[in-house]
Structure formats: structure tokens, C-alpha cells
Chains A and B, each alone.
Chain A
Amino acid sequence: MKRTKVVRFVAGVAAIAMAAAGLAGCGGSSNSASGSNGGKEGDLDAALQKGGTITYWTWTDSAKAQAAAFEKKYPKVHVKVVNPGTGMTVYTKLQNVLKASSGIPDISQIEYQAIPQFSVPGNLLDLSQYGFAKYKNKFVKSAWEGVTSGSSIYGLPQDTGPMVMFYNKQVFDAAGITNPPKTWDEYMQDAKILHEKDSSVYITNDSGQGNFITSMLWQAGSHAYKVNGTNVEINLNDPGAMRWAKNWDYLFKNHYISSLTNQGTEWYQAANKGKIASVVSGSWMAGAFKSSVKETAGQWRVAPMPSYDGKPASANYGGSSEVVLKKSANPALAAAFLRWLNTSQESIDLFKQSGGYVSTKKELSSQEFLNEKSDYFGGQQINKVFLESGKNVVSGWQFLPYQAYANSITMDTVGKAYQGQTTFEKALKEYQKALVTYGNQQGYKVTGK
């Protein structure tokens, strides 16, 4: 008798504690604030003269060298470089410090796909007040589109990841395919030929990484997300999305595609052994090939991403910018550092030396850069292919204001199609439902079409 009472009481306490934890954990979105803080261009140079300390969150390889070079030039400024993680980890931590209003960095690296997640709720400083609009023509179009919204500028581009197809020429040759597929229809035929010739070989692999699917939809001409302030319209069954879905249905139904995860240990094993014939990915993937797919060095080539109608089309996959957080205690100094970081020759050179793929037109179109021959890729001038792809990025794609979260839950619904339990069309519809529900919980006005 007494015992049951205690148990019931305990259960009650636990339930309340859990509920409280849940509430505190999710929370609502913060108020959207807009407009400028009334800064002007001259403030930046003044801030550099005055000096101070700023914190910069980044996972970029060259960040420490860049900060050191900056401090040498502006001895009164101290840049504290912190590497709090990569991608999603950083967004979670940013979300946490913003919610707690303490420990917020002045500047952070953020991928293009995650910018709306922070700009829409008003966490990012609009840099147009400091005259940053004049840098528009310095960067490739798709990168600039990634950091701006209307007349607001939320960051400066660092690198881009125009999508291309890396393919193992030897594996294609062995199957009697002399030219890499130009269209997705050819790609589907090659997938069949390759796998039927050697059942351990797959044309590619896909484990359903959310950001990959997003970029594939983008290239297919989908406009799945239409974002206007806090109003969002989602249509994951639009004609573009369906073009991709049809192809992926075919690949998975016939088991012509491997389910390995890109850049996982097993994937590296398969790529080293020539079991993966091609990978559609961002230009940055070239670095991973060179450093860790050494057994098949010399066999790989880079080709434009296959398109649906034969006309070149591509998308960005990955790529980062740096932003200034609105709650920075020294926004002018932070913006001044950002300006140097992503527009000065010295800083861009340091980033390039570390193997990064820059987003500035001048570097990307320099003859020296374009004529560079890569031994790993059989002496091919791969930068030319990357540049072409960058120019052909389909215009007008928008990310969700909670894209990072959306990417993290893709497999909950779309995963069923990857396992062959349903079609991609139906799976995307389910995914859409989940995104609409979550978005409305977060305080956005989301409608599904």
C-alpha cells in the first residue's frame, strides 16, 4: 500500500522532470529582429586601429595560419581561433550558446545550407551596413547567393563545392564504356552494364546523407523549398524532385547502387579496390581522393555531373562562409576581420595552400590555376571542370530555415526507399510531412504542397 504510493509519487516526479527537460530542450524560436545596427564602412578601420579580442569558431584547416597573419598585420587585434567541431556539431553549439546568451563567438564558419537557420531568426549581423555589397562581383554567383537574402548580406563566402562526377576510368573501360555518362539516362544504362559485368562493382554509392539528397534535388531543377521570411512552402514532389526520384528508384530497385557511406572506412576500402566506379560530389572531394584513395591513383578522372536533358546543370554540395553573430560585443571589429579573412589576397592564398577550393572569381579563373595538371587524375586539368560546374549551378535554389535539422532526419522517412520498402516519391512525401510538422513547431508558417 505504502509502497505503491511511493512508486506513484516517484513516477510523477520523474514525469514532471522529463517534461521540464523536454520544454527547455526544444524551446521556441527567438524573436525575429531585423535591420541594421547603424554601422558604417569607416567603423571597420577605426575598430582595427583601436584593437580588441574576438573569437572565431571554425573547422577550416588554415584558420590558425590566417589568424596569425591577420594579427601580424593588425597587432592590436587578438583573434581567438576555436574549433568546436564540424558542421552539424557547430550549429548545435551555436544554437545552444544563442539560447543561453553567453559564450557566443563573434564570428563563425557556417555552411551555406545552414545560413537561413540563423539569419531568419535574426541571429546574424547584416553586413550591408558596412558597405559589403561592393564585394558582390568578387565571388562566384552561387556563393554570393548563398550568403545573401534580398539586400541583406549575412556573411562572406569562403569555399564552394560545385558538384562534379569523379569516375574510375579503368573500371569504366573494363566494362567497355569509353565515355563517361553525359546524361542521367546514360548513367542508368552504365549502372546496369557495370554491375552485370562484375557484380561486386557499383556505379556509385549512396547511404542517404541528407545534404547529398538536397543537392541532387537542387540539380534536378526542384524548387522544393520556397522561403519568404518565416513563411515556408515545401513541395518535395515537384517535377524536379520527381526526376531524381525516378532515377533513384531504378538504381535501388535493381540493386545497381551500393549503400556505403561516402568517406567512411568501408567506402575508402571499396574505392581503393576499384569497386566504386564513380562518385558525384563537391569539388572538395578531390582532396579526399588524393590523400586516401591511393591504390587506384591515376585511374580517376573528373567529368561534369550528368544532367537530365544533356544541357550542363549542377549544384553546390557543401561549401562554407563566415558570418558575424549579431550578439557580438564588437561587431565592427568582427566585420573587419571577416573582410580581411575572405577578401584579402594574403588570406585567400593561405586558404588555397591548405587545399581549399576558393570562391573568388579571380582565383578560379586565373590561367595558372586552370592549367594546373593533377597527376592523381591522370594529368587532367580538373580545375577547369570545377569552374564549369560552378558556372552551371542551377539558380534560384533556397534552403529551409532549419536545413541542418532537416538533413539530419532525412533517413527517418526517405530511408525506407533506400531499403526498397517504398518508392522515393512516397518517401519524399513522408519526409515533407515531417518537415512541415517540425517547422510549424518551431514557429515558422509552413505549408506543404
Chain B
Amino acid sequence: MSRKNTKNAATVAVSTGSGVRKNGYSRRHSPVLFIFMLVLALYSVIPLLWLLLNATKSQADILSTFGLGFGHKLNIVENLKATFTYEDGSFLRWLGNTVMYVVIGAGGATLLAALAGYGMAMFDFAGKQIVMAIIIGAIAIPGNALVVPTFLLFAKLGLTNTPLAVILPSLISPFGFYLVISYVQSGVPREIVESARVDGAGEVRIFFQIVLPLLMPCIVTVLLFAIVSTWNNYFLPLIMLNDPKWYPLTVGLAEWNAQATGSATPKPIYNLVIMGALVTVIPIIIIFLMLQRYWESGLSAGSVKQ
């Protein structure tokens, strides 16, 4: 929030200093930087544009017309229909699975990170330093490195090929946990918690009624990270699940894509893969735009020492 204010102040300063804001703006900025940013922007936008354009084409047009242009006819409605009805509606099932993994996995991860992070920051207990070290160490290990050992562990417990195999590992977010710790340390004054205790509030009530509202920007950040990583999770479900009925969208779409090259009876369905990919990225874009302002403030929260 404070960052936003500084930015506004800076803009004001620029506009008063140069008189005409627009001209002053372009003159003050280096053309090299501008071109660099333009290239970066194109680099990010072109694949999305390609996806958007090709989602409107029939398979024949995808395979025969220019990638960044329209096809001979607009096939968007047919593609959408076919995507949702192909193989008895597998896509809808996968969409439902993904939503389930995100709601339970990312939601649970956020709740656990908030609870544990608050406890870690606010209470002292034996072995706290070691717990902290292990958690920071856990951030350093890429999640994908743990997938195979987790698979073998889950196989012993009979959990593989069930939704739990995807949900349980998603519940753990060392990064979110760490973010909450640093946010509590800088953003939740001990005095508030102590005075609440003096007034007779229980620890549970203190957490939910006093601490949680204060933590909101941070929690939204953690949630956003968890949603994005669960929504895009590919390797974990790929290894854990064998039955397509539990696939999330990522694994399902990859399988559709692989149909084009499999021997015996290759069956390319690129129009469905592309439309499916478009439908898959839309929710995540919406969530991202909605929660963006929280994210900005949350990211900088832990960066300033009081």
C-alpha cells in the first residue's frame, strides 16, 4: 500500500515538473529501455495471441494457415462445443478436478501456512531454530525433486491414483509459511495480541478476529501463489495418477496432445488441445488480475525492516 502511494507521488512530481505530462514522459525515458520492455511485452503477449487466434480455427486451418492470422472460417463455437463433449466430456471432468485440487489444495495450503506462520512468529518453543532451518531448507528443494519419493511413500499407503495423492503434497507451502512469518513479525504488533489476552480473548479468537484481518494482504499473496502453482501443477499428478478420471487439466491436455504422435492410430485433435488450453488459462488470468493489487503490497511487505 505504501508502495502505491510513493508511485503516485512520483507521477505527480513528473507531471508538475514537465508541464505537459505525455511528452515529458517519453523524453525522460531511455529508448533502449523502452525497446527492451517492448520486446519483453511482445515475448509474453505473442504466445497468448497465437493461442487466441488458433482457438478460432478448425483443425485443418490450424495445420494449413498462418499462425498469427485467422483461418478460412470462424470455428470458435464448434471448437468450444467439441472440447467440452469429446470423449464423453472428459474436459469438464478435468476442469472439475482442477477446481477441486485448487480449492482444497491451495485453500488448505493457505490456511495451514497462516496458522503455522503465525504460531512460529508469535510463540517461543524449544527447537524453534531447527524447525525454522528445516523450513527454509525445504524452500530450496524444488517440489518436483520430491515427487518420485513421495510416490513410493504414497504407494505403500495405498494413496496413489486417488485425489488425495495430489491434494496432500499441495497442502504444504514452505514459501507461504515463510512469507507469513516475516509478515507477522513486521505487521502484527505483539502489543495488540497481548492486550487482547489481557482482555480475556482465547488464542483461537485472537487469531481469527484480530490477527487474520491484519494478515489479509499477506494471505492473499500466499493464496495466489498456491492457486497458480496448484492450477499449473503437472509433474505431480502425472506421476501420481494413472486413471484419466482424476486428471487435472494440465495432464489431460498433454495426453490429448500426445494423441497426434502416438503410433498405431495417430489422431491429432489440435483444435481441441488449443481451445482447451485457452479455457484453462482464462480463470487463472481473471484471478490474477483480481488479486493483483494485494499481491504487489504483499510482496514488498517483508522487505522493509521496521
Chain A contact residues, CB within 8 Å of chain B? 6, 9-11, 13-14, 17-18, 20-21, 24-25, 57, 59-62, 82-87, 89, 92-93, 96-97, 99-103, 111, 158-159, 161, 262-265, 268-269, 272-273, 282, 284-285, 287-288, 291-295, 317-320, 354-357
Contacts and interface: CB of A to CB of B under 8 A. Distances in A.
B104 to A, nearest CB: 22
Contacts of A9: 133, 137
Given A21-B148, A24-B149, A265 B266 contact: no
B97 to A, nearest CB: 15
Contacts of B258: 85-87, 89
A82 B305 CA distance: 55
Interface stretch (B58-66, B114-122, B192-200): B58-66
B136 A158 contact: no
A161 B141 CA distance: 43
Contact of B145 (A11, A21, A272, A356): A21
Nearest to A211: B263
B237 to A, nearest CB: 12
Contacts of A93: 239, 242
Interface in B100-159: 129, 132-134, 136-137, 140-141, 145-146, 148-149, 151-152, 155-156, 158
B265 A10 contact: no
B220 to A, nearest CB: 28
Given A10-B133, A86-B262, A100-B156, 9 more contacts: A84-B243, A85-B258, A86-B255, A89-B258, A97-B160, A111-B263, A264-B260, A264-B261, A354-B265
Given A24-B149, A111-B263, A319-B263, A17 B136 contact: no
Given A13-B133, A13-B134, A269-B63, A103 B265 contact: no
A84 B134 CA distance: 36
Q: Chain B interface residue count: which class? A: 35 or more
B263 A61 contact: no
Contacts of A97: 155, 160, 242
Contacts of B132: 6
B264 A60 contact: yes
A116 to B, nearest CB: 18
Interface string B56-79: 000110111000000000000000
A109 to B, nearest CB: 9
Contact of A102 (B129, B133, B158): B158
Contacts of B283: none
A10 B63 contact: no
19 contacts: A9-B137, A21-B141, A21-B149, A25-B149, A82-B243, A84-B243, A86-B262, A89-B238, A100-B151, A100-B152, A263-B261, A264-B261, A269-B63, A284-B263, A288-B268, A293-B63, A294-B60, A317-B263, A356-B265
B255 to A, nearest CB: 6
Contacts of A17: 137, 141, 146
Contacts of B261: 86, 262-264
A161 B266 CA distance: 12
A246 B200 CA distance: 86
A13 B137 contact: yes
Contact of A14 (B129, B141, B267): B141
Interface string B229-265: 0000000001100111000000000010011111111
Contacts of B255: 83, 85-86, 89
Contacts of B91: none
Contacts of A264: 260-261
